[in-house]
């Protein structure tokens, strides 16, 4: 991989510093250096598992045990990992910049563990649970799936992880906040996402249409790459600390 020029980091840092509103939108790639697998890469989750059997509302209705088993496995995996330098750099950006909105498709809670207090969670959070029938929320850690006993709500409905599955709407307040942020930002950074899952994938287009400067951080080319003003072809755990360092040097 070629090294990114220092000028690009400086150019991003200058844009960040002069922006009234900075929006960062993250995907699974941001957590890869923490040990959380991505979805669509060659070694990603969707190369081993079928999304229609696991991350799908009909699959849960058909076979809730199977879906719970998979989410409990992912929960256990995530509970053992830690945020990486990319996550921590985003916490620094939040403190260094004027107005900063962090939007994520990730459900792993690592941005919050790193220290970002306000995160727009487009696809929910694997730590939380809710009733599939009445939508009542359950405290983190209060619900654990065990083989042969499906957790149930007082209303009789099945309790499930509070994540968004294919075939479901995104949380209304999260998507609205994300939309407004994309429309109003001066610079939009798309980090660690293949940018193919809608409506999240629409956000950088909204930002660009509204005049924002578009940056992508991803070791690979994505469908978004042709639209970007700067593409940083490095891991986010490497690139983001460099951006923070460039910002502090200004």
Instruction: List contacts with ligand OAD (CB under 6 A).
Output: 27-29, 32-33, 38-41, 44, 51, 55, 105, 123, 164, 166, 192-194, 197, 217-220, 222, 235-237
Catalytic position from the list 21, 87, 123, 132: 123
Residue 101: CB atoms within 10 A of its CB come to: 21
Which residue's CB is nearer to ligand OAD, number 131 or number 161?
161
Residue nearest to ligand OAD (CB): 29
- Cα dihedral 169, 171, 175, 178 sign: negative
Short-list 180, 188, 236, CA closest to 19: 188
Contact status, residue 45 vs residue 37, Cβ threshold 8 Å? yes
Rounded least distance, CB 22 to ligand OAD, Å? 18
Rounded least distance, CB 192 to ligand OAD, Å? 3
Question: Distance between CA atoms of 175 and 203, rounded to whole angstroms?
Answer: 10
Rounded least distance, CB 56 to ligand OAD, Å? 9
Q: Which residue has the tokens 């983001």?
A: 240
> Between 85-96 and 236-249, two packed helices, what is the crossing angle to 10 degrees?
30
Short-list 188, 197, 177, 150, CA closest to 23: 188
Short-list 110, 105, 109, 140, CA closest to 123: 105
Rounded least distance, CB 35 to ligand OAD, Å? 11
Which residue's CB is nearer to ligand OAD, number 153 or number 235?
235
Which residue's CB is nearer to ligand OAD, number 181 or number 195?
195
The verdict on whether 123 is a catalytic residue reads yes
Q: Which residue has the tokens 């939007």?
A: 103
Which residue's CB is nearer to ligand OAD, number 8 or number 184?
8
Active site (catalytic) residues: 123
């Amino acid at each position: 991989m070629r090294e990114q020029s220092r000028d690009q980091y400086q150019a991003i840092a200058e844009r960040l510093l002069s922006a009234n509103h900075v929006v960062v939108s993250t995907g699974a790639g941001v957590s890869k250096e923490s040990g959380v697998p991505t979805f669509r890469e060659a070694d990603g989750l969707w190369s081993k598992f079928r999304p229609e059997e696991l991350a799908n509302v009909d699959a849960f209705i058909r076979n809730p045990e199977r879906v719970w088993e998979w989410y409990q496995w992912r929960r256990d995996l995530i509970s053992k990992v830690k945020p990486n330098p990319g996550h921590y750099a985003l916490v620094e950006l939040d403190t260094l910049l004027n107005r900063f909105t962090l939007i994520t498709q990730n459900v792993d809670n690592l941005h919050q563990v790193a220290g970002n207090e306000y995160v727009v969670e487009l696809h929910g959070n694997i730590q939380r649970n809710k009733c599939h029938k009445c939508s009542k929320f359950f405290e983190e850690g209060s619900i654990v799936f065990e083989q042969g006993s499906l957790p149930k709500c007082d209303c009789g409905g099945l309790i499930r992880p509070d994540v968004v599955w294919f075939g479901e709407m995104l949380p209304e307040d999260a998507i609205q906040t994300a939309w407004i942020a994309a429309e109003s930002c001066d610079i939009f950074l798309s980090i660690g996402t293949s940018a193919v899952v809608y409506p999240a994938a629409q956000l950088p287009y909204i930002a660009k249409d509204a005049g924002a400067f578009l940056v992508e951080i991803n070791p690979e080319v994505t469908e978004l790459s042709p639209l970007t003003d700067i593409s940083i072809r490095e891991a986010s755990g490497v690139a983001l600390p460099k951006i923070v360092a460039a910002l502090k040097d200004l």
